[in-house]
Homo-oligomer: A and B are copies of this chain.
Amino acid sequence: MSTAKKKPEEFIPLTPRTFHILLALKDGVEHGYAIMKEVDETSGGRVKIGPGTLYEAISRLVEVGLLKEVSSPAAFNKDKRRRRFYKLTSLGRKVMRLEAQRLAELVRYVRQEELLAEG
């Protein structure tokens, strides 16, 4: 009963930071700090996430079932850094895709209204 079968639509719209966190995990497993840097890169520096926001957001996303913590990948076994690794749940992936679709449609609208290149 702990997993109350949440629908992906209920999470939409995501905040920019939440979407970027999910996006950073699209290809598999990452740890917190790496996510932080990924977001900075893929946003072209437009979206910054400080440690306070990051780790709080991660634990929130784990709680609601969009992320789950996984054990350290083999490649990092010897590493004594206190890293914690995360991946998307299937719900998390659905939510990421739904939000991506929302943004794609929004951008389509924005282009149609000529708000990008406005002459």
Contacts and interface: CB of A to CB of B under 8 A. Distances in A.
A116 B102 contact: no
Interface secondary structure of A, over-half rule: helix
Copies in the complex: 2
Contact of A116 (B13, B15, B47, B97): B97
B96 A115 contact: yes
Q: How large is the interface on A (under 10, 10 to 19, 20 to 34, 35 or more residues)?
A: 20 to 34
Interface in A63-119: 96-97, 100-107, 109-111, 113, 115-116, 118
A34 interface: no
Contacts of A15: 15-16
Interface of A: 9, 12-17, 23, 26, 42-44, 46-47, 96-97, 100-107, 109-111, 113, 115-116, 118
Ranked nearest first, the 5 interchain pairs of A and B with the lowest CB-CB distance are A13-B16, A107-B107, A100-B110, A100-B115, A104-B107
